[in-house]
């Protein structure tokens, strides 16, 4: 099986590729090749019996949709795991919490002038749901690691949302728990092509944050934590693939 691992920023996939102060994940991968395609770099590797295609897309819905489609159509990936950071709109979410998307939507998609609800276009969906099987694997990993993995609706848009009123509107309109800039566009691609996917986010900003918060430092630590989680999921996926033979 060929599995796509994707993030939006280089920092979100770097733990898979380089060493650092934390345990490097590179030693778990047998690196094969780097392929330049469509203005991006795709890292080809192996993890046990799984073929891995790893890439970061750059920020935003267009780049993430392009990268996801390339991983599935050009590289033939049969599953996609996305890891990154998100902002909280649910006050119960705190900085550092891990959230797995149970649904994803586009908060900036607006053709309400034609009588449609926010986030909807004809022949489309407001909400797209990830693979139930991958959500179950994530739940098992969290339990084994003693990590509290929260589930919730993630809303995607091509803006960095800092306005409290806009955040409250997104939370109310979509019943959203977190916001980011790539998840729903990746979901649209995977859903259209019938490929199972999973979106994991670490909360990077919330109502309880203060002036001492260092985003760059948080991004480094959360990327390590998220990549370790994804690696544990790969282990279970590999066991399932081997068992199905």
What amino acid positions are annotated as catalytic residues? 12, 205
Contact status, residue 86 vs residue 202, Cβ threshold 8 Å: yes
Contact status, residue 190 vs residue 80, Cβ threshold 8 Å: yes
CA distance 131 to 17: 26
The answer for 48, left when phi > 0, alpha when psi is -120 to 50, beta otherwise, is left
38 secondary structure, DSSP code:
T
Q: Where does 74-160 show beta strands of DSSP type E?
A: 79-88, 98-106, 149-156
């Amino acid at each position: 099986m060929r599995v796509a691992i994707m993030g939006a920023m280089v920092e979100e996939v770097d733990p898979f590729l380089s060493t650092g102060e934390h345990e490097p994940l590179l030693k778990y991968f047998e690196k094969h090749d780097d392929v330049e395609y469509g203005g991006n770099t795709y890292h080809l590797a192996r993890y046990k019996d799984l073929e891995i295609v790893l890439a970061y897309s750059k920020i935003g819905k267009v780049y993430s949709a392009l990268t996801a489609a390339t991983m599935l159509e050009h590289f033939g990936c049969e599953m996609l795991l996305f890891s990154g950071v998100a902002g909280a709109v649910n006050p119960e979410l705190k900085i550092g919490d891990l959230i797995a998307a149970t649904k994803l939507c586009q908060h900036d998609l607006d053709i309400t002038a034609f009588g449609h609800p926010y986030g909807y276009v004809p022949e489309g969906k407001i909400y797209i749901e990830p693979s139930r099987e991958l959500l179950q694997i994530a739940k098992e990993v969290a339990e084994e690691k003693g990590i509290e993995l929260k589930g919730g609706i993630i809303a995607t848009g091509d803006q960095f949302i800092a306005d409290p009123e806009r955040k409250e509107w997104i939370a109310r309109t979509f019943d959203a728990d977190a916001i980011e800039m790539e998840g729903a566009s990746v979901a649209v691609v995977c859903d259209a092509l019938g490929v199972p996917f999973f979106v994991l986010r670490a909360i990077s900003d919330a109502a309880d944050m203060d002036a001492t918060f260092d985003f760059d430092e948080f991004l480094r630590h959360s990327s390590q934590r998220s990549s370790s989680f994804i690696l544990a999921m790969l282990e279970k996926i590999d066991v399932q693939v081997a068992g199905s033979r």
